[in-house]
Chains A and B, each alone.
Chain A
Amino acid sequence: MRIIPKKIEGVKFGLLSPEVIRKISEAKIVTADTYDEDGYPIEGGLMDPRLGVVDPGLKCKTCGGRVGDCPGHFGRIELARPVIHVGYAKQINKILRAICRKCGRLLLPEERIKEYRREIRRAAKVGKSGDNIIEHLFKEARTAKVCPHCEKEQLDIRFEKPTSFVENKNRLSPTDVRERLERIKDEDAEVMGFDLSVARPEWMVLTVLPVPPVTVRPSITLESGERSEDDLTHKLVDILRINQRLVENVEAGAPQLIIEDLWELLQYHITTYFNNEVAGVPPARHRSGRPLKTLAQRLKGKEGRFRSNLSGKRVNFSARTVISPDPNIGINEVGVPEVIAKELTVPVRVTPGNIEHLKEVVRRGPDNYPGANYIERVDGGRVRLGKVKNIEDVLEKVEVGGKVHRHLRDGDVVMFNRQPSLHRMSIMAHEVRVMPYKTFRLNLCVCPPYNADFDGDEMNLHAIQGEEARAEARVLMRVQEQILSPRFGGPIIGGIHDHISGAYLLTRKETKFTPEEAAQILYNAGITEELPEPKDENGEKYYTGKQLFSLLLPKDLNLSYKAKICKKCEVCTEEECEDDAYVVIRNGEIITGVMDEKSFGAFAGELLDRIVKDYGTDEAQRFLDRVTKLAISAISKVGFSTGVDDEDLPREGIERIEEILNKAEQDVEKLIQTYEDGILEPLPGRTLEETLEMRIMQTLSEARDKTGSIANEYLEKVSEEKGKENGARIMAVSGARGSLLNLTQMAACVGQQAVRGERIARGYTKRTLPHFKWGDRGARAKGFVKSSYKKGLDPLEYFFHSMGGREGLVDTAVRTSQSGYMQRRLINALQDLKVEYDGTVRDTKGVIIEFKHGEDGADPSKTDWGEVVNVKKIVSSVTGTGSRGSKNGG
């Protein structure tokens, strides 16, 4: 069987005319019953067999197809009286007010109509929608008191939501409305925005209701054997019942009042059938009290057809499980559990070259790991392995030209993803490494782009099914292709945590290793480069960490930049830096400076940045893999730890901190005193209270900063003493984890707690807690936490701290939804833009948005931190003045 591919050229929207509804209808539905006692659908009922089949085993009476083959067919309900379509009520209102009640002409003089027609045509010519013009036309026509065509006086028409129209206190029945709409001339309808080839105004008032095929509203059979009908079927039953009663009453010549009541009821049911959330209409409910999901609800919103089934689709060949770290696999690899590898398959075409191998795979079947799950025969038939009795029969069907769906294997390219997928680095292509146990394993360097950690995060994996897709994934989506972020043109993948502190410990000035130690470190890191000449000191041979690190650098690399540990002195001594914070790399050799966050950390790595840009992505991937291994190996050798005692301060330091805090508290009291005495000078444009608050906040934050620097001073002193390394400080300084502020809070003073950017003010009348006097504005009474985390907070401080902490949590929760919606809007507005071959950026209509992307036509991910060409760098490398001034410097 050959499938002829068809391309959808386009979709044209329109209204269904009563004639068309009758034409497409296969059955006239007349009874509200669905199934008879035997459980067979009733002819002329809502589950009429001519409307298609949903029960297996039955055949469609219209097309003869079975479940799956028959797409379903429409039916119809002939309405006893016309009914307004809710969705068009507003439009009908506009039209009624703009046309003559007698002759049905637009209430505008002939010339005006002509002018409008011209204007609309002109707008259409330049590709603009004529909506505003039409809106204007309605507005103008509305004001006419007398019809310019037949001189009939016009009455005021009021629209009573949701579906009634009142003309000078007389309610217009849908029949009246329909008659008026019918009178509209074609030319007039056209200027009112109707496309006459698909829509006439009177079609907005229904006389026949199409009944959707049963396939659209399948009934489900519960375990108890009871049938449960779809919401739409329920609604249609209601409509049919009322319609039948209306027919009977009309035929019996019932009083007008009864007929009108029934008519109204029919209008209600049809209204809710279309949309069960119309304002002013009580929603139709299920027996259980749950509002019914009718047509509009099926389409609308996040769970509606559009957003959840059409814009987003479910896929096969995907897996999801918890992730865990594995520093021993490469950054472009992913560890896949064997159970998953057995479930996900890759189709492989059988060729003379691989037939023997594939046969072996097929023989192993679905349960023995490197096996296969099913085969596709040359004729297109599928054979599921595992259930087959005689494997030899199946093996015969493995022929050249067929396909074998074999298990996932080492080296297969798959796509790996973590939600929320905020940027393109949230889905990257990795190479498979099949591993035992049940989690996905990933290299730590790819945590930043995925924003992943291992506290229970789960990730998704998609096995690629086609050659074209595989090629694209490999070329465009591989991890190393994504090292540079298009957001700012710098690396987004890089070392984290121990990678950074490890490299820092390794490359410090004082780090020295005996040749034996050096060999151990390199061996553990899997580095086999030849060692350079060891340094010699008093006959003792040793290697510096810088020498070991340099082994991984390209031999022609020249680079200099300021490291993360740089203290930003006023005058930079560059190479002579006391802290070894000025990195100089000459011919692939670190001359001075330590390796820290600025060298290969995510978001910051200058060295890594240079390697990707000058040596290519594959080299960068190799560099990252090796550098992280070396750092881990080094940190394991040197040893590293942190604990509460890292925040220990000598008594002297604690006393000094105490002193500063006491002083600050006194200063605050003094400020309050000056305020109360009325001698506080207000800042321009501020009230006295605001000024006082600002001054107090300033005083307290200065005090906290001062305690911080004191704490840091003592911690640094401790660090300098050999053998008493301070792990916490090393991490903060090198950028591995934590900041100096964190250290301050742990060791010295937590500081002011704030809610909404102000000192804590809520609570009791004029005071935050009953422990304070009324009107106390002191530091402590308004949430200043004097203690450090290590010392511990007293109950009052703890309470204030929780207030600040809670605000943070609420903040995050609110923010995620806000920024998520903003991003959805941004994406929706910009998604159609692309660069054309002429370099312009255009949308789908071909409208030019930019003549050159970003004014210089550059791709931000190929730029040097936003600069298209780093001219300085080129000039200095050509003239050989060293490659200083690498860039902005951050």
Chain B
Amino acid sequence: MTEVAKHLTKNEILAELEKIKEDVSPRVYQDLVEAVQDVKLTKDQLKKIISEVKRRYEYAQVEPGEAVGVVAAQSMGEPSTQMTMRTFHYAGVAELNVTLGLPRIIELVDARRTPSTPTMTIYLDEDHATDRDKAKEIAKQIETVVVGDVVDKSEIDLVDSRVTLVLDKYELQRRELSAEDIVAKLNQSKIKVKDDWDSERISLVSSTSSIKDLRRLANKAKDVYLRGIKGIERVVMRREGEEYVIYTEGSNLKDVLKIPGVDITRTKTNDIVEIESVLGIEAARNAIINETLDTLDEQGLRVDVRHLMLIADMMTVDGTVKAIGRHGVSGEKASVLARAAFEITVDHLLRAGIKGEVEDLSGIVENVIVGRPVMLGTGMVELVMKRSKEEA
């Protein structure tokens, strides 16, 4: 033993680790490989490490019967009582409002069709990310611009029955648009433009002279779409480290991903339902996890991801995003009593009557209702002690 033990080479270590790859989670394996990489180890030490890792890993496994659902629900519900209500908080980008805190969590759990403040974070690919001008070019393509955005005011002339749009020079310049572009677009949407337009004023012709029609014309002209992606009302560009990132108000994942220069692997939106329709259910599940985790983190509340995963999994098991509540998960339960005990009691009972539904009393509430142990944890075990003959 006095002999100095020989250190293993890196390859020997990795070969040794390879053997337990299947026994532990990929994450642990990765950690192990990283931690062991540059450390000098003897064979005994490595053995010790491996056995200790395995022991810990096995110890940390959930026990059968564990009521993981209730624990997950509590782990998300309890901290939410401590959250602040401030709906609008400035997250990351000072220029954009994003719903956060409890309202956001409720929104996620409800699986709303559209979030109250849809936003996207658009990353750019290598060619565009670090170049300010190229990034700006993409931002320009994304932001929706309508005529109204570059019009300072509209004047209605009842005598000549014409509507004059006074252009906002500053806005035009900022958006790199000219009067020509606008006239062209107006013509495209069948609004007649008088020939005397210049770079500041554009006059529109109306067939009738009633003030109502003129106003309608003015509004119609202002709504004419100039460029950009539908649904994205505003963009803000920000430099993050080396690269430029575009934040948006409004979301349209499908169309944004089509724009060349956008990094489709990192670009994201906070609209879960949109993610589901564009990228599929697994992406939606991950989005639910990430969004809830981010919202909780922002409030300084620590919740283990595993709980959020379970909630997200429950919401997405059958291939569509379902809400937690009577219109989703709870409303689709098999048990009549469980549904009746939650909400809309009478309707569920009446419907069960004509359908001749059978309650097999397997869930939690059902067993509580009939007054017997629930099938979770220690209640899952059905063991009877064997009595000796004399006793019986």
Give chain A's interface residues, CB within 8 Å of chain B: 7-15, 87-88, 91, 129, 193-195, 197-199, 204, 275, 296, 299-301, 304, 306-307, 310-311, 313, 420, 422-424, 472, 476, 486-490, 683-686, 694, 756-757, 811, 814-816, 818-820, 822-823, 825-837, 839, 841, 844-845, 847, 849-850, 853-860, 862-863, 865-866, 868-872, 874-875, 878-879
Where chain B touches its partner, the secondary structure class is helix
Sampled A-B contacts (12; CB under 8 Å): A10-B359, A129-B332, A275-B346, A488-B303, A685-B95, A826-B324, A831-B363, A835-B68, A853-B66, A854-B305, A860-B304, A868-B25
Task: Take A831-B70, A874-B52 as given contacts and tell me if A859 and B380 are in contact as well, using a CB distance cutoff of 8 Å.
Answer: no
Does B365 count as interface, using CB distance less than 8 angstroms? Answer: yes
Q: Whole-angstrom distance from the CB of A26 to the nearest CB of chain B? A: 23
Task: Take A11-B358, A306-B340, A488-B304 as given contacts and tell me if A869 and B57 are in contact as well, using a CB distance cutoff of 8 Å.
Answer: yes
- Residue of chain B at shortest CB distance from A201: B354
- Residue of chain A at shortest CB distance from B40: A879
Are A825 and B325 in contact (CB-based, < 8 A)? yes
List of B residues within 8 angstroms of A856 by Cβ: 25, 27-28
User: Which of chain B's residues 227-246 have a Cβ closer than 8 Å to chain A?
Assistant: 234-237
Segment of B123-131, B154-162, B269-277, B370-378 in the binding face: B370-378
Pick the contact of B341 from A8, A306, A486, A822 — CB < 8 Å?
Answer: A306
Q: Whole-angstrom distance from the CB of A846 to the nearest CB of chain B? A: 10
Segment of B86-94, B113-121, B191-199 in the binding face: B86-94
- Residue of chain B at shortest CB distance from A16: B353
Does B32 count as interface, using CB distance less than 8 angstroms? Answer: yes
Are A815 and B317 in contact (CB-based, < 8 A)? no
Of B48, B89, B369, B375, most A-chain CB atoms within 10 Å: B369
Pick the contact of B69 from A487, A490, A833, A860 — CB < 8 Å?
Answer: A833
With A129-B332, A757-B89 already in contact, 14 other A-B pairs whose C-beta atoms are closer than 8 Å: A9-B361, A193-B355, A195-B356, A420-B81, A487-B74, A488-B302, A488-B304, A823-B77, A828-B338, A833-B69, A850-B310, A850-B313, A860-B304, A868-B25
Are B354 and A193 in contact (CB-based, < 8 A)? yes
Does B9 count as interface, using CB distance less than 8 angstroms? Answer: no
Pick the contact of B85 from A304, A814, A827, A831 — CB < 8 Å?
Answer: A814
Task: Take A13-B336, A832-B363 as given contacts and tell me if A858 and B74 are in contact as well, using a CB distance cutoff of 8 Å.
Answer: no
Are A844 and B334 in contact (CB-based, < 8 A)? yes
Task: Take A819-B81, A835-B66, A871-B35 as given contacts and tell me if A878 and B73 are in contact as well, using a CB distance cutoff of 8 Å.
Answer: no
- Residue of chain B at shortest CB distance from A129: B332
Are B358 and A860 in contact (CB-based, < 8 A)? no
List of B residues within 8 angstroms of A296 by Cβ: 346
Q: Whole-angstrom distance from the CB of B251 to the nearest CB of chain A? A: 16
Give chain B's interface residues, CB within 8 Å of chain A: 24-25, 27-28, 31-32, 34-36, 39-41, 45, 48-49, 52-53, 56-57, 59-81, 83-86, 88-89, 94-96, 102, 105-106, 109, 234-237, 249, 302-307, 309-311, 313-314, 317, 324-325, 328-330, 332-338, 340-342, 345-347, 349-350, 352-365, 368-372, 375-378, 380
Are B109 and A826 in contact (CB-based, < 8 A)? yes
**In whole angstroms, what is the CA distance A14 to B325 when docked?**
26
List of B residues within 8 angstroms of A841 by Cβ: 68-69, 310, 313
List of B residues within 8 angstroms of A313 by Cβ: 368, 371
List of A residues within 8 angstroms of B324 by Cβ: 825-826, 829-830
**In whole angstroms, what is the CA distance A7 to B342 when docked?**
24
Of A296, A476, A831, A857, most B-chain CB atoms within 10 Å: A831
Task: Take A757-B89, A819-B80 as given contacts and tell me if A13 and B70 are in contact as well, using a CB distance cutoff of 8 Å.
Answer: no
Pick the contact of B52 from A197, A488, A858, A878 — CB < 8 Å?
Answer: A878
Are B60 and A871 in contact (CB-based, < 8 A)? no
Q: Whole-angstrom distance from the CB of B40 to the nearest CB of chain A? A: 8
List of B residues within 8 angstroms of A822 by Cβ: 77, 80, 102, 105-106, 109
**In whole angstroms, what is the CA distance A98 to B55 when docked?**
65
List of B residues within 8 angstroms of A847 by Cβ: 317
Are A831 and B69 in contact (CB-based, < 8 A)? yes
Q: Whole-angstrom distance from the CB of A380 to the nearest CB of chain B? A: 19
List of B residues within 8 angstroms of A829 by Cβ: 69, 73, 314, 324-325, 328-330
- Residue of chain B at shortest CB distance from A833: B69
Are A835 and B305 in contact (CB-based, < 8 A)? no
Task: Take A844-B362, A874-B49 as given contacts and tell me if A204 and B354 are in contact as well, using a CB distance cutoff of 8 Å.
Answer: yes
Task: Take A825-B109, A874-B52 as given contacts and tell me if A487 and B365 are in contact as well, using a CB distance cutoff of 8 Å.
Answer: no
**In whole angstroms, what is the CA distance A490 to B65 when docked?**
22
Are B346 and A422 in contact (CB-based, < 8 A)? no
List of B residues within 8 angstroms of A859 by Cβ: 60-63, 66
List of A residues within 8 angstroms of B52 by Cβ: 874, 878
**In whole angstroms, what is the CA distance A692 to B340 when docked?**
54
Q: Whole-angstrom distance from the CB of A497 to the nearest CB of chain B? A: 19
Q: Whole-angstrom distance from the CB of B380 to the nearest CB of chain A? A: 7
Q: Whole-angstrom distance from the CB of A216 to the nearest CB of chain B? A: 16
Q: Whole-angstrom distance from the CB of A20 to the nearest CB of chain B? A: 13
- Residue of chain B at shortest CB distance from A825: B325
Are A825 and B356 in contact (CB-based, < 8 A)? no
Are B69 and A834 in contact (CB-based, < 8 A)? yes
List of A residues within 8 angstroms of B109 by Cβ: 822, 825-826
Are B48 and A422 in contact (CB-based, < 8 A)? no
Are A826 and B77 in contact (CB-based, < 8 A)? yes
**In whole angstroms, what is the CA distance A15 to B356 when docked?**
8
Task: Take A825-B109, A845-B334 as given contacts and tell me if A835 and B355 are in contact as well, using a CB distance cutoff of 8 Å.
Answer: no
- Residue of chain B at shortest CB distance from A310: B369
Pick the contact of A827 from B70, B361, B375 — CB < 8 Å?
Answer: B70
Are A194 and B355 in contact (CB-based, < 8 A)? yes
Q: Whole-angstrom distance from the CB of B6 to the nearest CB of chain A? A: 15
**In whole angstroms, what is the CA distance A490 to B372 when docked?**
34
**In whole angstroms, what is the CA distance A90 to B363 when docked?**
30
Are B364 and A685 in contact (CB-based, < 8 A)? no
Q: Whole-angstrom distance from the CB of B57 to the nearest CB of chain A? A: 5
List of A residues within 8 angstroms of B49 by Cβ: 874-875, 878
List of B residues within 8 angstroms of A486 by Cβ: 71, 74-75, 304
Q: Whole-angstrom distance from the CB of A277 to the nearest CB of chain B? A: 10
Are A826 and B311 in contact (CB-based, < 8 A)? yes
Of B39, B81, B337, most A-chain CB atoms within 10 Å: B81
Q: Whole-angstrom distance from the CB of B306 to the nearest CB of chain A? A: 3
List of B residues within 8 angstroms of A858 by Cβ: 25, 60-62, 306
Are B48 and A12 in contact (CB-based, < 8 A)? no
**In whole angstroms, what is the CA distance A540 to B364 when docked?**
68
List of A residues within 8 angstroms of B313 by Cβ: 841, 849-850
- Residue of chain A at shortest CB distance from B365: A311
**In whole angstroms, what is the CA distance A868 to B314 when docked?**
23
**In whole angstroms, what is the CA distance A506 to B347 when docked?**
65
List of A residues within 8 angstroms of B347 by Cβ: 87
**In whole angstroms, what is the CA distance A488 to B306 when docked?**
10
List of B residues within 8 angstroms of A850 by Cβ: 309-310, 313
List of A residues within 8 angstroms of B362 by Cβ: 844
List of A residues within 8 angstroms of B67 by Cβ: 831, 833-834
**In whole angstroms, what is the CA distance A490 to B31 when docked?**
21
**In whole angstroms, what is the CA distance A360 to B79 when docked?**
50
- Residue of chain A at shortest CB distance from B74: A423
List of A residues within 8 angstroms of B25 by Cβ: 855-858, 868
**In whole angstroms, what is the CA distance A826 to B313 when docked?**
13
CB-CB nearest 6 A-B residue pairs: A195-B356, A854-B306, A823-B77, A833-B69, A830-B69, A856-B25
**In whole angstroms, what is the CA distance A423 to B237 when docked?**
42
Task: Take A826-B109, A830-B310, A841-B310 as given contacts and tell me if A15 and B305 are in contact as well, using a CB distance cutoff of 8 Å.
Answer: no
List of A residues within 8 angstroms of B325 by Cβ: 825, 829
List of B residues within 8 angstroms of A836 by Cβ: 64
**In whole angstroms, what is the CA distance A869 to B363 when docked?**
34
**In whole angstroms, what is the CA distance A822 to B325 when docked?**
9
Are B61 and A871 in contact (CB-based, < 8 A)? no
